[in-house]
Structure 1
Amino acid sequence: MNKNFLASLSLLMLVVSSVGAQQRQTQDLILQWGSTDVRYPRNEVPAGQGNKQWETDAWKGERVNAQAVLWTRQPLKNVRIAVSDLKCGKNVIPASATTASFVGYVWTDELNKDRKSGCSDRPNKADWDSSLVADVLEVRKSLDIEAQCTQPLWVNIWVPQDIPSGVYKGALTVSGENFADVRLP
């Protein structure tokens, strides 16, 4: 096997553990891994149970992406997200090699009618009403989330070229002013 291949880079799921389960009951907060291929509607509860963990293979020097999905029944104030160091024994991919961004929503009148996110010629424009779609990565470091809304979270990981191969594990933390931090191992 090629030594430049990073065997498996693993950022464990944003599953609500004992603290998270209590948080889920008090705030009706849902946090789960989603798919990077899905544009999550803003005003719908994310479908399904989500994945219990996010796992991918990555080459040294490669950038990999993941998407988590947050939904809340209550308004959340000053929400922030952060990725921890990713560790494999004594080896570390530092948190500085990651970014965590809020996915912003934009108005469109020619995208996502069938929720397959395709662009093409639209002969009958009347068939394509305006809609709000998840599209842009926000540069803001915090934001307020309205009640009954979905907020996708985008994670980038830049795998160092000189990192030893292995299974690297870390966590994503969601914090804010009016709810307890949710740290997902």
Structure 2
Amino acid sequence: MISQIAAAQSNIEIAWGSTDIRYFHNEKPNDVSGSALELTAWRGERVNAQFVVWNEGETEQGAAFTLANLTDNRDNEISSENISAGYVETVVTDTFSGCGRHEVEKYGTYVVADMIDNKTSRIFAPDDTRGAWMTIQIPQEAKAGIYMGSVTVESKDGTTQVLKYSVKVLDRILPSPDQWNFHLDFWQNPYAIARVHNVDLWSEEHFEAMRPYMLMLASAGQKVITTTLIDKPWNGQTLDPFGSMVTWIKKADGEWEYDFSIFDMWVEFMMDCGITQEIACYSMIPWNLSFQYFDEASKTNKYIKSSPGKKLYNEHWGRMLEQFAAHLKDKDWFDITCIAMDERALDQMQKGIRLIHEKAPGLKISLAGNNHPEIEKDLYDYSVDEQDKNQFSESVIERRRAEGKKTTYYT
């Protein structure tokens, strides 16, 4: 239901939309409703809705929204602190998908509603439309019942409109995200957050900027902390390349030293955000097989290039694996850590696995890549391409589950 609470006529219109639709910024929305929205949730569940705001006038118009507490007829209340909303802003994209070279000139660009802003007010140009995504987190301690809520949209000219909705809270409890059984692994890129927020890498300001993102990730059920052991494990294919969280140092006397301080800070921070089940370390087998280290004698960064199975490779990684395993045991992280690889060939994987077993016995291994039955038993966390997901037999999946291993697929 929409109620008008001011005599002035506004060019701003509002309605409930669908969570299945991305509303175009320059089109009047279809499939919208002014009727009161009805939602249903368990205690502890998070539910979503989308309302739509658009300007039918010929001049720009400001609009801001506020969210009311949820209340039932027995004076029970769910605070608006458990409700968040933001306008869905547009981003520029194209039709490219998959891996490989992105040849921009081959694809026509367009804008799509995708980014949920955290601002509650904005200026609407003539014929401008925006969805606003609303998330309601029902506390586990909430009482079962039917709660009434509202969204108030106030235009710059003083006109106020209200969208009403209800949430039927059932007397069932959804466990907290850290208790969910499904294995979720979204890779994190702290380097991108430092650039976007214009803060120094690994500074106090950097960690403060990252916390809201990582808390949101933990609330989705994320299980894995993404870490890097080397510089550019994916050969810099992302806009913000991943650096190394471990500094490899060749001392002037030829001995090797490994500084794990950034790795430790990152892991401890992520655990404090609630992501604690697994640490994935990329990668012993990077895409370009080049390994940066700091040469103390020349005070410059240098590189070793070698492939799995080669003497130089085995020496370079063998030393590090022994010290890394000892460090993980000191931190009590050894049992949850995986040396992680991404889409590497079978022969390279087999040689890398042999070295891990030799130099760091018991250290877990993960792979996101093709289905390789020859190494399946060596992999604790095995995620195959979606096209290969049916190549795992039910008996293999059940055996792996009984062994406490993770078997997933990725897109």
TM-score range, shorter chain: 0.7 to 0.9
* 2:380 equivalent in structure 1: none
**Cα distance change on mapping 1:139 and 1:168 into 2, 3 Å:** same
* 1:96 equivalent in structure 2: 81
* 2:33 equivalent in structure 1: 50
**Range moving further from structure 2, 89-98 or 171-180:** 171-180
Hey, what's the Cα distance between the residues in 1 that align with 2:119 and 2:3? 28
Identity of aligned residues (%): 29
Query: Secondary structure, in 3 states, of the residue corresponding to 2:87?
Result: strand
Hey, what's the Cα distance between the residues in 1 that align with 2:154 and 2:118? 17
* 1:110 equivalent in structure 2: 95
Q: How many residue pairs are counted as aligned between the two chains?
A: 160
1:170 is matched by which residue type in structure 2? G
- Deviation for aligned residue 1:128: 4.9
Query: Secondary structure, in 3 states, of the residue corresponding to 2:85?
Result: strand
* 2:146 equivalent in structure 1: 167
User: What stretches of structure 2 of length at least 5 have no aligned partner?
Assistant: 165-411
Q: Pick the structure with more helix per residue.
A: 2
- Higher radius of gyration, 1 or 2: 2
Answer 1 or 2: higher relative contact order, Cα 8 Å, separation at least 6: 1
1:76–1:179 Cα contact (<8 Å) kept = no
- Deviation for aligned residue 1:48: 3.9
**Cα distance change on mapping 1:120 and 1:68 into 2, 3 Å:** farther
- Deviation for aligned residue 1:175: 1.7
Hey, what's the Cα distance between the residues in 2 that align with 1:101 and 1:16? 19
> Following superposition of structure 1 onto structure 2, how do residues 59-78 of structure 1 map, counting pairs within 5 Å?
59-74=42-57, 75-77=60-62
- Deviation for aligned residue 1:126: 8.0
User: What stretches of structure 1 of length at least 5 have no aligned partner?
Assistant: 1-14, 112-118
Q: Pick the structure with more strand per residue.
A: 1
**Cα distance change on mapping 1:49 and 1:160 into 2, 3 Å:** closer
Query: Secondary structure, in 3 states, of the residue corresponding to 1:45?
Result: coil
2:141 is matched by which residue type in structure 1? D
Length-normalised TM-score, structure 1? 0.75
* 1:184 equivalent in structure 2: 163
2:50 is matched by which residue type in structure 1? Q
Query: Secondary structure, in 3 states, of the residue corresponding to 1:106?
Result: strand
- Deviation for aligned residue 1:125: 8.0
1:101–1:137 Cα contact (<8 Å) kept = yes
Query: Secondary structure, in 3 states, of the residue corresponding to 1:50?
Result: coil
Are 2:27 and 1:41 equivalent residues in the alignment? no
Query: Secondary structure, in 3 states, of the residue corresponding to 1:17?
Result: strand
* Cα deviations by residue, 1:3-40 (Å, 9 ceiling, x for unpaired): xxxxxxxxxxxx332447x66xx333321111111100
Hey, what's the Cα distance between the residues in 2 that align with 1:142 and 1:125? 34
* 1:8 equivalent in structure 2: none
Hey, what's the Cα distance between the residues in 2 that align with 1:52 and 1:41? 22
Hey, what's the Cα distance between the residues in 2 that align with 1:120 and 1:38? 23
Query: Secondary structure, in 3 states, of the residue corresponding to 1:96?
Result: helix
Q: Give the 4+ runs in structure 1 shifted more than 6 A.
A: 124-127
Hey, what's the Cα distance between the residues in 2 that align with 1:140 and 1:84? 16
2:95 is matched by which residue type in structure 1? E
- Deviation for aligned residue 1:161: 0.4
Hey, what's the Cα distance between the residues in 1 that align with 2:152 and 2:81? 15
- Deviation for aligned residue 1:142: 2.2
Hey, what's the Cα distance between the residues in 1 that align with 2:115 and 2:32? 25
Query: Secondary structure, in 3 states, of the residue corresponding to 2:24?
Result: coil
Hey, what's the Cα distance between the residues in 1 that align with 2:135 and 2:160? 21
Hey, what's the Cα distance between the residues in 2 that align with 1:55 and 1:130? 37
Q: CA RMSD in A?
A: 2.6
1:34–1:51 Cα contact (<8 Å) kept = no
